[in-house]
A and B are shown apart, each in its own frame.
Chain A
Amino acid sequence: MLHVRQLDIYVSIILISLGVYVTYEGLGYGYVERGTPSAGFFPFWVGIGLAVFSAINLYRTVRRHGLIRPDVAIDAIAYGEIGKVLGASAIMAAFIGLSLVVGMTPSIFLLMLAIGAVFGPRNIRFYLGLTALSLAMTAILYFTFAYLLGVPLL
């Protein structure tokens, strides 16, 4: 189980760093030019805002010593769930790579089968239904985007 509090601390540190980076870059773009705000004026303040509020969140989370926030319904995320989400994301990323090689139409069919396999039950009846659904959906998508909307699919 990945503890939400722990994750929140890491995320807050990343966001503080991002805020500092945005402020630093903002200064690099120029804060004021001839007495009026320049390209870096807005990012400068946005970076400060991001860093300050992330720091407040970090302080609160560290002080809470593992107590669960009432507005966050969970205190931990199961590794299985994280695995499913990352698995689905990896499959979507693979779709991009595969599309460049074999085209989008066969790739989307394979993507649907793979996503279904990640989130669905493991039995032959489901796989048969999923295959039929994926075939139908691939045809619908091809018709809608390639013919109806004239999108040049890869």
Chain B
Amino acid sequence: MLETWSLLLGGLSAASEPSILLAIMIGAVIGLFIGALPGLGPTAGVAILLPVAVSFDGTAAIAALGAVYYGAQYGGAVTAILLGIPGDASATMTVIDGYQMAKRGQAGRALGISVAASFIGGLIGLVLLTIFATTIAKAALAFGPIEMTALMIFSLSLISVLGGSDPVKAFVSLFLGVWIGTIGLDPILGLPRFDFGNVRLFDGIEFSIIAVGLFGLAEMLATPNATESAVTAKLRFRELLPKLSDTLRCWRELLSGSLIGFFIGVLPGAGAAAATMISYAFAKRHAKHPEKFGQGAVEGVAAPEAANNAASYGNMIPMFALGIPGSGTTAVLMGGLLMIGLQPGPMLFATQPQFVWTVFGSFYIGNLALVAITIVLTPLLAACAFLKPGYLYPVVIAIVLYGIFSINYSMFDVALAIGFGIVGYGMAKLGYPPVPLVLGMILGPLLERGIRRTLVASQGDLSVFFKSPIALTILALTLAMFIVPWLMNRRRAKAKAASALAAGA
């Protein structure tokens, strides 16, 4: 454990270099604005900036993209409190009490506790990320291709089951993503597949093109315009400072929110929005005055804000430690890692410790810096929610098109991104979640390589997957995940039918 903390100290020192600090600040500010803009969540923000960021130095790029991610969690709360408009899904629970507080003239107090909660949630999440990522990565070193393949099957299934309200559409989306991942040369035999006679598809489709199309362009186009019906509070700087008395008063909500947020965040597909709902419900259930929740309770802001920030770091555990992204945003981040030539997973800690710990160090610095940046920029962030699409869309689309072109200097890529923008818009309207598609595209090729290499080594013997106790346990868990809810539904239906019968008699 001591070794971990000394490595982190080294990372903090490396992340204090001017170039990394600049990347953190730029990423944090952009993230704050993206979080505040209705329609552009952290996934869209990271996706839009991905092509631009990877043009810079690798460590600075990931530090900046990470800062966009956690910066967006801070920014979402500002418009949620001041305007009653959640910047992204994870800020929805903050609206309930935060907006009530603002309407009662306590906007500054609500913003203060949201900043304090974001910082504390982020800090707890970071400490847990530091501890668990290294521990899990060390344990995962024992995983061979068979175990990793089983883990990938489990993660893909979990994401598709937890990732949306419609598992059938989630699976359609997943298979579509896995198919897109097969486009290009076969990874083992080198045979071109699904190239449609176009040599430009031999290398497959660049991940960032799809991510930018699906998250950047589509999410923006599919979002209805915000209406101007909110509280426009005039705030003085002093009012925005977090109050120690509120922070101390909410210590239980801050702690429970952070822990719930982190552990929900670790689950692939569960996401920050689910973490905020659970932490809010938990805080309300254990509150001395639960009736005050929904009427402007400061605890009702503290719990979800701590949760969504902790969840953003929990989300990074599967990506860094196992090489499996658990959400859309971490999938895009993982795409960034792959684009700069790094393969996330347990070996990353062994082969690139300097990179990993500098990035982790940058997260600590960014989390602290965001407290000051958020307070200073709050009036501007509030104004952002009223930014007209007529001004916002041209700017975002221009950045997206230039960013995509800069990857391979190819207009073909730009055309593909536009195509995926339209596809993403259609998916949003029809209720097909885009996250499983992106994850399928990233994990599909890894899964194919894992399965085929294992079967080549075992000369086609499928039973190898059942000879490894770890793989067997993981596969059994995967199966249980489908069977248990089905059995529970059946039992519930039977009980309902029996009670209906009894009532009829």
A interface, CB within 8 angstroms of B: 4, 7-8, 11, 15, 18-19, 22, 25, 29, 32, 35-39, 41-43, 46-47, 49-50, 53-54, 56-57, 60, 69-72, 74, 77, 84-86, 88-89, 92-93, 95-96, 99-100, 104, 108, 111-113, 115-117, 119-121, 126, 129-130, 133-134, 137-138, 141, 144-145, 149, 151-154
Contact = CB atoms under 8 A, between A and B. Distances in A.
A57 to B, nearest CB: 5
B349 interface: no
Given A69-B431, A112-B395, 18 more contacts: A11-B430, A15-B176, A22-B194, A32-B460, A36-B456, A37-B455, A39-B189, A47-B179, A49-B175, A50-B179, A53-B168, A57-B168, A72-B429, A72-B430, A89-B422, A96-B415, A133-B394, A151-B55
Interface stretch (B72-80, B360-368, B396-404, B491-499): B396-404
A71 B431 CA distance: 7
B343 interface: no
B422 A85 contact: yes
B140 interface: no
Contacts of B56: 149
B280 interface: no
23 contacts: A15-B172, A18-B176, A18-B179, A22-B194, A29-B193, A36-B455, A46-B178, A46-B179, A49-B175, A56-B168, A71-B166, A71-B431, A72-B429, A74-B429, A77-B429, A88-B397, A92-B421, A99-B411, A108-B398, A112-B394, A133-B394, A144-B402, A149-B406
Contacts of A72: 429-431
Given A8-B430, A11-B430, A152-B409, A39 B186 contact: yes
Contacts of A99: 411
A154 B411 contact: yes
Main secondary structure of the interface of B (DSSP, over half): helix
B405 interface: yes
A86 B426 CA distance: 11
B395 to A, nearest CB: 6
Given A7-B430, A53-B175, A95 B191 contact: no
Contacts of B389: 119-120
Nearest to A42: B448
Contact of B221 (A22, A42, A57, A88): A88
B317 to A, nearest CB: 28
Main secondary structure of the interface of A (DSSP, over half): helix
Nearest to B160: A53
A37 B448 CA distance: 10
B322 to A, nearest CB: 21
A37 B457 CA distance: 11
A74 B175 CA distance: 25
B234 interface: no
B451 A42 contact: yes
B311 to A, nearest CB: 22
A89 B421 contact: yes
Contacts of B189: 38-39
A85 B221 contact: yes
B170 to A, nearest CB: 9
Among B176, B422, B455, the most chain A Cβ lie within 10 Å of the Cβ of B176
Nearest to B422: A89
Interface of B: 52, 55-56, 164-166, 168-169, 171-172, 175-176, 178-179, 182, 186, 188-189, 191, 193-194, 221, 388-391, 393-395, 397-399, 401-402, 405-406, 409, 411, 414-415, 418, 421-422, 425-426, 429-431, 444, 448, 451-452, 455-456, 459-460
A84 B421 CA distance: 13
A108 B430 CA distance: 31
A2 to B, nearest CB: 9
Nearest to B427: A11
B430 A141 contact: no
Contacts of A36: 452, 455-456, 459-460
Contacts of B425: 85
A145 B402 contact: yes
B194 A25 contact: yes
A126 B391 CA distance: 9
B172 A50 contact: yes
Nearest to A41: B452
Nearest to B391: A133
A137 B429 contact: no
